[in-house]
Amino acid sequence: MLSNTLRSTARSSRLVAPNHRLLTRDARRTYASVTDLSNFPKPGEQIHGFTLKRTKHVPELELSALHFQHEKTGADYLHVARDDTNNVFSIGFKTNPPDATGVPHILEHVTLCGSEKYPVRDPFFKMLPRSLQNFMNAFTSSDYTMYPFATTNAQDFKNLMDVYLDATLNPLIKKSDFVQEGWRIGPENPRSPPKDESGSDLVFKGVVYNEMKGQMSDATYLYYIRFMENVIPALNNSGGDPQKMTDLTYDQLRSFQQGHYHPSNSKILTYGDQPIEEHLRLLGEQLSRFEKTEVDRDVKAPISLADGPRNVTVKGPVDPLTPPDAQFKTSTTWLMGDSNDIAESFALRIATNLLLDGYGSPMYSALIESGLGTDFTPNTGYDPSGQTGIFSIGLNGVTEANVPKVKEVIAATVKETIKKGLDKTKVEGLLHQSELGLKHKTASFGMNLIQRLKPGWFNGIDPFDALAWNSIMDTFKSSYASERYLEGLLEKYLLTDNTLTFTMTPSTTYSADLVSEEAERLQSKIAEAVSAYPSEQEAYKQLRERELELVAEQDAGQTESLDILPTLHVSDIPREQKRTVVRDSEVDHAKVQWRETATNGLTYFRALASFKDLPDELRMLVPLFCDSLMRIGTKTKSMGEIEDLIKLKTGGISFGHHATTSPYDTSKAEEGFAISGFAFDNNVSAMYELIHTVLIETDFDSPNAQRMVRQLLQTAASGAVDGIAESGHRYAMRYAEAGVSPQGRISEQVGGITQVKLITSLAAAEEDADAMSELIGKLKAIQALTVANMKQSMRVALTCGQDAAGPNESALRKFLHSTSSANLSANPASIYTTSAQDYTSSRNTFFNLPYQVSYSALLLPTGPYVDQSSAPIAILAKLLTHKHLHHEIREKGGAYGGGALSRGLSGVFGMYSYRDPNPDNTLEIYSNAARWAADREWTERELEEAKLSVFQGVDAPVSVNQEGMVRFLSGVDEEMEQKRREWLLDVDVRQVRDAAERMVGDVKSKAYVTVLGNAEKKAFLKEKSEAWRVVDMGMKGEAAA
């Protein structure tokens, strides 16, 4: 993924035994105080070949850190002890890419395809259903690769750690895995006879190749990666440029692996409450077989700007949904100080954040509110992940004439801000946000910590320094007490013209040029292959035979024994649901759910006000309404002033749309307006006042309201196509589900392609004063309806400490009373002009978009949550994913991802593909999947794996603010959850087969299919044109790709 197992050996028991016993004895006490350093070895002690170098207790983060080094190899190992059952492991390597062929990325994939101890095909994916992990992946970053997982089960942790270590340190690196995951030339459909002997059926194939074709279709990513190639040219594109990827050879991959995947080049990190003894033993056994070696830990430096400014211009694609004359992207970049200076880096984060963050920030006002552009470029912000910090400010949606002006305005705004001085209130707000962040308890704290520490650690930044939060804060406060400290930092680094200006210009032929380039490159590579054979026909024959050999190997992997792989069992899943104690009450006119638990002094608030019979026209504007609430301001306060108060008094407030299906009847859906926020207990009243101010007092009649809504529309429309490219399968699933269920229809309108089309059409009509006036009227109508519904149907969920419940109730009562007394008027009936959108006119829809790969989904209805028949479908979805769809769509088809899903709460089943080069083939797989499952003789072991997969999600740890939320949001109580839990655990083979048999007919008669991609060369559109509705997403003027 782009960010992005052990072999026993002898060890010297004479050296490790004394410390082994000491550590085991101490480990028994760690659960009494997981972070107490007296329970751990002392610096200088040796355990299993590791020497403990140093320790650090960090009370503000409730953790202790221990830094070990493996004496024989020099491997670095950091253990973070914390009272958290969600334990995390990660091993990573410094992997500076030598070129843009994507060798670190392809190696990340191939590494997980088999190892010495576990020589089965693709043990990584085979382990997914043999575990109760809640996170399991691998990432290729710009200059390092990491392999993390998280689980709450101790045996699972050992199993996965064993597999991960053997995979990364003893990988097989087979050529067949290289051509499957990297690239190859082969027939598009290997089992279909070629139409002729010309080789016209030959194409480039490979999982990573197609992943990166999809990634490079995203103009946002393309801008960022091209920028990085120019600001740090020595650090090549680690993900891989498809145009360069086909230059990579198998021998080069092996050479890179041998030079980088070694303990001497590794950083290992564990986190959580498990005793460290077993971690050290497993690591020591694996690492002891290696000798120390010299490795390339070179930290790549950015370009020098000492000789003056640089200007770079590159070409990019046209966005078919936004005005063609305003699609330039340009940014200005400065080189900052040494990132090892943690204190200065923190201060620079504060100072640069004040320049950029929020509607009241100087740069937002100067660049976006002024109309110069629509949104910040993806490289905007301060990046201290390398040894030298980089700071950029950039703008999307710029006209060609205004490109030079952007740099001028940025420079002038920096100068003016420094002269005027930074607002101390805003500094206090950011510090308050930092303090809240320390107290907010999340289920993914360990994974987030690892991902925060690893980039700096690989680039020479001491993780102990990065963990020392109180020290960093104390140093900042001391420095900030000096006059104009932050202004001085900005002056030090930004008052210079020694900058990089990076601009991307839109090219109407960009996509077509990519197609032409790939076709020429393909012919060149085919010619290379032909040169090794007596004739073209013999070469084509060999390429096709190699593809069939690969297919045979892939198919053989489906039936091989997996007994060698470790596994959990259904007996490891508790039969009893973990209980979350809540109580119900009524406060004023609202029903209130209370969750009283340890929250570190924070209160979490959530409220829902149901909508009844909301017309499509207003529903589709609810997202824009929510954005407008956080933009327009009131009669007495600007949004910048309100933002300052939000940051000073809360951890944030938000508004949104909510929809859920009835657990009893899938034909019934509830939708409503959602409000959420959290704050320290002593600021709860202020939080409620701010929610009231924003919701009730937002002034849609303000002379500035239309201008601000226009800006919101421009920002939302800018890059909408990129947003679809990043999550195309989700958009496909939403649209397909809209034909299947009422909730699906609602959710698609507020968060799917229909929403994208609405926003882009509104943005295109922004100069129409009458249309904007009508739009403002509709937003006012939503405001009035929302407040009216809050008086009639609001329910509230509060999570807080027991001692905070009384004050919370008083504050809530005051808030509800103030809401009830609000009197907003609107005449919504006069503006209900749009009829309901029909999603059922065609069961097959294709959205034509300028992408190099496709995204697809098939959805069909199942039963409600309380219907026992939905349980076997959930198991069937996992069986199809792991035993069929992954194999057919990804391994053989070359798509980056594919699988099946069952949403018990929504009552739907689906199949999907992601970054898929061959949707024709995938649609055929969908149509036959149920028949395949119904005819298969499922084993008890396969059934067990499917149940483990289901319960990875069911029993995944949740953050404290999410406890009790399933009950609150969907009406599913713990008794219903317990009953469904038992149904899932008790599903048998017969039930799975019966569910698959029923699905055979449902796929033919009830399924809705959606595909996103380029319509050109899609055989199913030509052969079955009458069955497909093709929607052109504004591609006029953009050549097909």
Question: Average of pLDDT values for 480-486?
Answer: 95
Question: Average of pLDDT values for 669-698?
Answer: 97
Say how many residues make up the chain.
1041
Report pLDDT digits (tens) over 201-215.
Answer: 999 999 999 999 999
pLDDT of residue 3: 66
Q: Which residues of 684-713 are buried (b: 16+ CB within 10 A; e: fewer)?
A: bbbbbbbbbbbbbbbebebeebbebbbbbb
The whole-angstrom separation of Cα 93 and Cα 238 is 13
Report pLDDT digits (tens) over 48-92.
Answer: 999 999 999 999 999 999 999 999 999 999 999 999 999 999 999
Identify the weakest region by mean pLDDT among 214-223, 680-689, 990-999: 214-223
**Residue 826: pLDDT band with limits 50, 70, 90:** low
Beta strands 602-611; 328-338: pairing state: unpaired
Q: Annotated catalytic, 977?
A: no
User: Do the Cβ atoms of 881 and 762 come closer than 8 Å?
Assistant: no
Instruction: Give the DSSP letter string of 52-92.
Output: EEEEEEEGGGTEEEEEEEETTT--EEEEEEES-SSEEEEEE
Report pLDDT digits (tens) over 588-613.
Answer: 989 999 999 999 999 999 999 999 88
Distances (CA, A) of 47 to 36, 66, 157, 461: 19, 13, 20, 26
- Give the CA angle between residues 878, 880, 884 to the nearest 5°: 135
Question: Average of pLDDT values for 159-186?
Answer: 98
The whole-angstrom separation of Cα 394 and Cα 374 is 11
Tell me the three state secondary structure of residue 215.
Answer: helix
pLDDT of residue 766: 76
Distances (CA, A) of 11 to 17, 72, 283, 293: 10, 12, 12, 20
Task: Record the tokens describing residue 682, joined without a space.
Answer: 């002593």
Amino acid, single-letter form, for residue 977: E
The whole-angstrom separation of Cα 506 and Cα 393 is 20
Q: Is the pLDDT of residue 1035 over 80?
A: no
**What does the mean pLDDT of the chain come to?**
92
Report pLDDT digits (tens) over 951-981.
Answer: 999 999 999 999 999 999 999 999 999 999 9
**The residue to which tokens 């929510």 are assigned:** 626
pLDDT of residue 1040: 31
pLDDT of residue 12: 28
Q: Is the pLDDT of residue 1039 over 50?
A: no
Answer positive or negative: Cα dihedral of 839, 844, 847, 851: positive
The whole-angstrom separation of Cα 794 and Cα 798 is 13
Report pLDDT digits (tens) over 878-909.
Answer: 999 999 999 999 999 999 999 999 999 999 99
Question: HEC states along 421-438?
Answer: CCCHHHHHHHHHHHHHHH
- Give the CA angle between residues 400, 403, 404 to the nearest 5°: 130
The whole-angstrom separation of Cα 160 and Cα 260 is 22
Q: Is the pLDDT of residue 832 over 60?
A: no
Greater confidence (29 vs 267) lies with: 267
Q: Is the pLDDT of residue 585 over 80?
A: yes
pLDDT of residue 450: 95
Instruction: Give the DSSP letter string of 292-322.
Output: ------PPPPPPP-TT--EEEEEEEEPPTTS
pLDDT of residue 297: 75
| Residue 329, phi then psi, degrees to nearest 5 | -125, 130
Q: For residue 896, which of 444, 242, 448, 450 has the smallest C-alpha distance?
A: 242
Report pLDDT digits (tens) over 400-436.
Answer: 999 999 999 999 999 999 999 999 999 999 999 999 9
**Residue 16: pLDDT band with limits 50, 70, 90:** very low
Report pLDDT digits (tens) over 215-235.
Answer: 998 899 999 999 999 999 999
Q: Is the pLDDT of residue 21 over 80?
A: no
Please identify which of the residues 45, 60, 71, 108 carries the catalytic annotation.
108
Q: Is the pLDDT of residue 820 over 90?
A: no
Question: Average of pLDDT values for 147-169?
Answer: 98
Q: Hey, what domains does the chain have and what are their CATH numbers?
A: 319-505 (3.30.830.10), 583-822 (3.30.830.10), 844-1032 (3.30.830.10)
Q: Is the pLDDT of residue 7 over 80?
A: no
Count CA atoms closer than 13 A to 862's CA, side-chain side. 28
521 CB-near residues (< 8 Å, 6+ apart): 204, 243, 246
Question: Average of pLDDT values for 298-310?
Answer: 93
Q: For residue 370, which of 399, 409, 337, 335 has the smallest C-alpha distance?
A: 409
pLDDT of residue 1020: 84
pLDDT of residue 825: 63
The whole-angstrom separation of Cα 159 and Cα 543 is 39
**Residue 837: pLDDT band with limits 50, 70, 90:** low
Q: Annotated catalytic, 108?
A: yes
**Residue 827: pLDDT band with limits 50, 70, 90:** low
Burial-class residue 1031 by CB neighbours within 10 Å (0-12, 13-18, 19+): middle
512 CB-near residues (< 8 Å, 6+ apart): 1039, 1040, 1041
519 CB-near residues (< 8 Å, 6+ apart): none
pLDDT of residue 195: 76
> Could you tell me how far CA 864 lies from the centroid of its own chain?
29
Q: In what order do the strands lie in the sheet with 854-861?
A: 897-903, 908-916, 854-861, 1008-1013, 844-848, 1029-1032
Please identify which of the residues 181, 643, 766, 891 carries the catalytic annotation.
181
Q: For residue 170, which of 113, 251, 103 has the smallest C-alpha distance?
A: 113
The whole-angstrom separation of Cα 255 and Cα 107 is 11
Q: Which residues of 950-979 are buried (b: 16+ CB within 10 A; e: fewer)?
A: bbbebbbbbebbbbbbbbbbbbbebebbee
Q: Is the pLDDT of residue 365 over 90?
A: yes
642 CB-near residues (< 8 Å, 6+ apart): 633, 634, 690, 693, 694
Question: Average of pLDDT values for 758-773?
Answer: 90
Q: Is the pLDDT of residue 658 over 80?
A: yes
Q: Is the pLDDT of residue 1036 over 70?
A: no
Please name the helix (run of DSSP H) or strand (run of DSSP E) that holds residue 416, with its range, or none.
Answer: helix 403-420
**The residue to which tokens 């990065």 are assigned:** 466
User: Do the Cβ atoms of 707 and 628 come closer than 8 Å?
Assistant: no
Task: Record the tokens describing residue 790, joined without a space.
Answer: 């809050």
pLDDT of residue 1041: 29
Question: Average of pLDDT values for 647-664?
Answer: 97
pLDDT of residue 74: 98
pLDDT of residue 831: 36
**The residue to which tokens 């593809």 are assigned:** 547
Share of the chain residues as helix, strand and coil, in percent rounded to the nearest 5: 50, 20, 35
**Residue 8: pLDDT band with limits 50, 70, 90:** very low
**Number of CB atoms found within 10 A of residue 847's CB:** 25
